[in-house]
Chain A
Amino acid sequence: GAVVSQHPSWVICKSGTSVKIECRSLDFQATTMFWYRQFPKQSLMLMATSNEGSKATYEQGVEKDKFLINHASLTLSTLTVTSAHPEDSSFYICSATTGGGPDTQYFGPGTRLTVL
């Protein structure tokens, strides 16, 4: 099946620094990628939808200047958490879709961000 990778798998950073998380579709071209955030023992909350070559669409309540998304190619989207603070600590998961059938959205393994 299709594979989506995320890098890094975990990161610890100091408050005030920026962190970049990569999401790659390894063996397919993704028309759309999604970024989710998951707090411990909670559901996934959609943060933004990313289409190659265009600006990301953010969900209500998500600060676009805080969470910068760049979708440079059909296989790569990046999420940059700018000026990270402890409340940004979370599990960030991306997914990628070819926009085909109902089972064509594939999830990455997630990135655990801890801000000290």
Chain B
Amino acid sequence: GEDVEQSLFLSVREGDSSVINCTYTDSSSTYLYWYKQEPGAGLQLLTYIFSNMDMKQDQRLTVLLNKKDKHLSLRIADTQTGDSAIYFCAEISNDYKLSFGAGTTVTVRA
């Protein structure tokens, strides 16, 4: 199977930008995803990027993709307390199976 790796923890001050990094291994993934999980809840799709794109911006979210290095990042601008959660990056196979990273726990401090 594919290995998707993420840093486990990130602490950020409210109002600052958060950057979460991820590396993946399956170069054939057509899409790469970022999901958010709040405590005791399921996964919420935040954004995704097509593999032939370098960047995608969606309001406060910016996704950067370096396909050569298989590196994906998610930047959250103006981080708010409601952004405290676990963030998972994921890659998808041709049969719609998602492989997730271990998740990055983001803690927003006042």
The answer to whether A42 has its CB under 8 Å from any CB of chain B is: yes
The CA-CA distance from A93 to B50 in the complex, in Å, is 25
- Nearest-CB distance from B34 to chain A (Å)? 12
B42 touches A93 (CB 8 A): yes
Residues 81-116 (chain A) with a chain B CB within 8 angstroms: 93, 95, 97, 99, 102-103, 105-110, 112
- Nearest-CB distance from A52 to chain B (Å)? 14
By a CB distance below 8 angstroms, the chain A residues around B50 are 102
Binds B, one of A12-20, A43-51, A62-70, A71-79: A43-51
Would A42 and B102 be within 8 Å (CB), given that A93-B43, A102-B50, A103-B48 are in contact? Answer: yes
Tell me if A's interface is mostly helix, strand, loop or mixed.
strand
A44 touches B92 (CB 8 A): no
Instruction: Determine the residue in chain A with the shortest Cβ distance to B97.
Output: A46
> What total of chain B residues lie within 8 Å of the partner, measured CB to CB?
24
Instruction: Determine the residue in chain B with the shortest Cβ distance to A112.
Output: B40
The answer to whether B110 has its CB under 8 Å from any CB of chain A is: no
Would A107 and B97 be within 8 Å (CB), given that A43-B103, A102-B30 are in contact? Answer: no
Residues 24-49 (chain B) with a chain A CB within 8 angstroms: 30-31, 33, 35, 40-45, 48
A99 touches B103 (CB 8 A): no
> What total of chain A residues lie within 8 Å of the partner, measured CB to CB?
23
By a CB distance below 8 angstroms, the chain B residues around A42 are 102-103
The answer to whether A25 has its CB under 8 Å from any CB of chain B is: no
- Nearest-CB distance from A37 to chain B (Å)? 12
By a CB distance below 8 angstroms, the chain B residues around A46 are 97-99
A43 touches B88 (CB 8 A): yes
The CA-CA distance from A49 to B85 in the complex, in Å, is 27
**A–B pairs, 26, beta carbons within 8 Å:** A4-B42, A34-B96, A34-B97, A41-B103, A42-B102, A43-B88, A43-B101, A43-B102, A44-B43, A44-B88, A44-B98, A44-B100, A46-B97, A49-B95, A95-B43, A95-B98, A99-B96, A105-B96, A106-B45, A107-B35, A107-B42, A107-B45, A108-B42, A109-B41, A110-B40, A110-B41
Pairs of residues from A and B, 3 with the lowest C-beta to C-beta distance, nearest first: A102-B31, A107-B43, A107-B42
